[in-house]
Structure 1
Amino acid sequence: MAPQDPGFRTLCPTRWTVRAASLQSVMQNFSVIQSSLDSFADMAKRDPEMSARCTGVAAQFSSFDFLFGVALGEKVLKLVDNLSKALQHKKMSAAQGQVLAELTIKSLALMCTEAEFSNFWEKLIEKQSKEDVAEPSLPRKRKRPCRYDEGSSGHFATCIEDHYRVMYFSAFDMAIQSIKSRFDQPHYKIYSKLECTLLKGAAGESYTDDLSSIQELYCTDFDSNILQTQLLILYSHFRETAVTPALMDVVDYVKSLGKPGQLLLSEVVKLIRWILVAPATNATSERTFSALRIVKTYLRCTITQARLNHLLMLHVHKEACDSLDLELCIDDFCRESEHRRNIFGSM
């Protein structure tokens, strides 16, 4: 690879929802990958299996369908990646996630136009002419399976551009429907209504519809009249800050009140507990599994469970660790045993 060529990005084997950058690096290094595969196939002639693999991958790179799929995947996943990364923030709430999902759906819908496809097709044909890629062609007509036969012979595109146009719009429709199905779940809507009731009440906005929705589920678990009064008290605080409160802002404020203040906002505390018992995003807990592979390396394969737990706590809670007084930690470490005091001394 030449120094001016951009580098490759690794492909994640488990999460394809954050791989737009990887597909972009493939598009930018298309000719480099093709030449590298040919070189690998020549060098691996003594190994028939490896040579066959390199030849097979090179054949895929020379087909127009592969180029079309990589380019379309990059275009779709750019917007989906942006949503995925935003939803993984540890302070993300369900109500905010719903807004972000709707914005992403609108952005994807803007890509489903004839003008956008024409622009995409022109750039793709220009890319194909520069690379060692075959010309686009229509697939062989195949008879529809009997289980799908409805008495018609099916639709076959007569134009190459029409054939790929169908796949283009289908990819964006699938992405839009996947996002909608994820955020249109009944339980998620109730969870979002809980957050909207709390946040709108703290911001002084109308939350009548949201409150009536959660009343149908929780019924006698809380007193709606007292809740409305306590939300008014909450609004009196956040009105002075002149900042639209987020979920964690409300949680931190209620925590700072202590027990007497929480008794004053007892129904609000119930609402917060229902929200926090099932967080809107589990990205924080998933990062613990990612950290496990970073902490427990192959060189630390004999680490004990207690030491592993301690190292993971330090790795996960980095912000809290940075605020610790190291001298006090060292003093506590030495005071735990006489042997340590004899070696390290004490403050």
Structure 2
Amino acid sequence: MTAVVRFVTVSKNTVEICEHFIGFVVVDDTTGKGLYETLLDILKSTNLELNNCRGQGYDNGSNMKGKNSGVQARILKDNKRAFFVSCSCHNLNLVVSDAGHSSVTAELFFGVLQRLFAVFAASTQRWQILKEHVNISLKSLPETRWEGKINAVKAVRFQIAEIRDALQELCRMSQGKDAKLRSELRGLCFEIESLSFLIRLVVWYDVLQVINKISKALQCPKVDLHTAMNMIDGALLQLQTFRESGFETCIATAKKMAEKLDISQTLPESRTPRTRRFFDYESQHDERPSDPMKRLEIEFFNKLCDIAISSLRERFEMTQNVCEPFSIIRNSDNFMRLDRTQILTKSKALENYLTGEDENSDIDGRELAEELESSKAYFVAAGMTDLSALVMISHIIDKGLDEIYPNFTVTLRIFLTLPVTSASGERTFSKLKLIKTYLRSTMCQDRLNGLAAMSIEHGICNELNFSDIIASFANKKSRKVPL
């Protein structure tokens, strides 16, 4: 188990969102209770109080995010202000996974891509033939990272003709040698030379491109929930627009690719009843459109887009609920558009939201409303409108206004502290693979955490004065008796 702490620090009149590695812990009990007790031990060993926690974020494991016995539920019982935010990158990954299982046609597409990679990666000679034809090599499909499949899709999307040529050359070389390989190669050529495959290739690339870009952007530690939700809303709008008019564009692109491959630009008119049942076993009776293009749109494209849109809304509903009480300060445009009564109402609601079990709140709602009213005029006079939470608090600290707007500053810091993803924790595991190799299999836990901290927090490590550290170490370990 890895632990990472996120906080907002103010130094030299600058505001910075920081995420720092605490350490690795060996976990024997992986249940919600066991992980919860381990987390409490970590906080105790680092002199961190659970009551001071204002956010918690994990992956989507049931033992972590479980509503009843998960770690987040147990922590919320002790501190209801430790708001749980599910990892946005994991949620986006599950959105693509849901879309990938929307229909049989969608699932079989990735099977063809994996077969393409497997047939060339089976030997160095085949891989050399592939490299002679393409600039971007084929990629294996990740088992869990669905948005990462865009690398495999991209390699085929823009090099379909070159890959076809490599398959044909390999097929000629295997003539009279390996009948099984020759049969597989001809089958792959038949698959990728169909207009149906080209349409699915273009559709999947467009969908994965939207999700993958947002997933990469959200992995930055300095991203806040306001920026994250804006990105998610943008992705939702893109998918909705794609659902309405994207299929015709994909068909036009696929036909241009088909023209380049010199293959048919139409879909087969019909299939035999037995084959139709194989490709569409969900249908109980044959009421599908007779037009094969319309059938592909309904059974593949519409299903994929509808499930992706509904999954995107459902999986980020919890994050939206956490952000809702902070809506008044998510950007300056929110409270600038409200009148005094509305600001007071929302400020009081936020005060209640930030009230703990001891009936003490982090802010005073009435004073926050007064500060927002005052800062409204200040931001307008300064020509600053529609600002993010990070920009607002950076300006307040830079101008020395934090004593004038204490409740506003505290509220902004709490909001920026809320985690967006667990990407920093995932990165620490990547470092763990590099540090604890088979050559260091007997390394003790303290040494592992020390080496990991030096590697992960290398920015802080580079600022240390090693001469002083060496001198201090030498004094402690010296066996000479001072005279």
The offset of 1:73, in angstroms, is 0.6
Conserved? CA contact 1:112–1:172, under 8 Å: yes
Structure 1 segments unaligned to the other structure (5+ residues): 343-347
From the two aligned structures, give the one with the greater strand fraction.
Answer: 2
> What does 1:235-246 align with in structure 2 at a 5 Å threshold?
242=384, 245-246=387-388
In structure 1, the partner of 2:243 is 112
Aligned equivalent of 1:165, options 297, 322, 331: 297
How many Å separate the matches in 2 of 1:274 and 1:119? 41
How many Å separate the matches in 1 of 2:165 and 2:263? 12
The offset of 1:74, in angstroms, is 0.5
How many Å separate the matches in 2 of 1:108 and 1:93? 23
In structure 1, the partner of 2:30 is none
In structure 1, the partner of 2:5 is none
Aligned equivalent of 2:432, options 285, 288, 292: 292
> What does 1:134-213 align with in structure 2 at a 5 Å threshold?
136-137=267-268, 138-141=270-273, 142=276, 153-166=285-298, 167-183=300-316, 185=317, 187-200=318-331, 205-206=336-337, 208=343, 210-211=346-347
Is the aligned partner of 1:336 residue 2:466? Answer: no
Q: Kindly tell me: are residues 254 and 337 of structure 1, through their superposed partners in 2, closer, same or farther at Cα, counting changes over 3 Å?
A: farther
- CA distances 1:220-258 after superposition (whole Å, capped 9, x unpaired): 653421332344576688776948654445666889999
Is the aligned partner of 1:76 residue 2:207? Answer: yes
> What does 1:45-56 align with in structure 2 at a 5 Å threshold?
none
**Greater relative contact order structure (CA < 8 Å, 6+ sep):** 2
How many Å separate the matches in 2 of 1:234 and 1:279? 26
- CA distances 1:167-216 after superposition (whole Å, capped 9, x unpaired): 22332223222222223x1x423321244333446986246375465467
How many Å separate the matches in 2 of 1:255 and 1:288? 32
Q: If the length of structure 1 is used for normalisation, what is the TM-score?
A: 0.71
How many Å separate the matches in 2 of 1:132 and 1:297? 51
Structure 2 segments unaligned to the other structure (5+ residues): 1-129
SS in 2 for 1:337: helix
- CA distances 1:247-298 after superposition (whole Å, capped 9, x unpaired): 445666889999xx6898258536744763x413322223222333344455
Conserved? CA contact 1:93–1:280, under 8 Å: yes
Give the aligned residue type for 1:126. Answer: K
Give the aligned residue type for 1:329. Answer: F
From the two aligned structures, give the one with the greater helix fraction.
Answer: 1
Conserved? CA contact 2:202–2:253, under 8 Å: no
- Once the two structures are overlaid, the 10-residue window that deviates more, 222-231 or 154-163, is 222-231
- CA distances 1:101-124 after superposition (whole Å, capped 9, x unpaired): 22222222222345x433321331
The offset of 1:329, in angstroms, is 1.9
How many Å separate the matches in 1 of 2:439 and 2:165? 37
- Once the two structures are overlaid, the 10-residue window that deviates more, 121-130 or 67-76, is 121-130
Q: Kindly tell me: are residues 73 and 255 of structure 1, through their superposed partners in 2, closer, same or farther at Cα, counting changes over 3 Å?
A: same
Q: Kindly tell me: are residues 95 and 273 of structure 1, through their superposed partners in 2, closer, same or farther at Cα, counting changes over 3 Å?
A: closer
Conserved? CA contact 2:328–2:334, under 8 Å: no
The offset of 1:336, in angstroms, is 0.7
What is the alpha-carbon root mean square deviation over aligned residues? 4.6
In structure 1, the partner of 2:9 is none
The offset of 1:53, in angstroms, is 6.6
The offset of 1:27, in angstroms, is 2.0
Conserved? CA contact 2:150–2:208, under 8 Å: yes
The offset of 1:12, in angstroms, is 3.1
Conserved? CA contact 2:154–2:205, under 8 Å: yes
Question: How many aligned residue pairs are there?
Answer: 330
In structure 1, the partner of 2:135 is 6
Give the aligned residue type for 2:287. Answer: H
Is the aligned partner of 1:27 residue 2:157? Answer: yes
Percent identity between the two aligned chains: 18
SS in 1 for 2:203: helix
Give the aligned residue type for 2:202. Answer: A
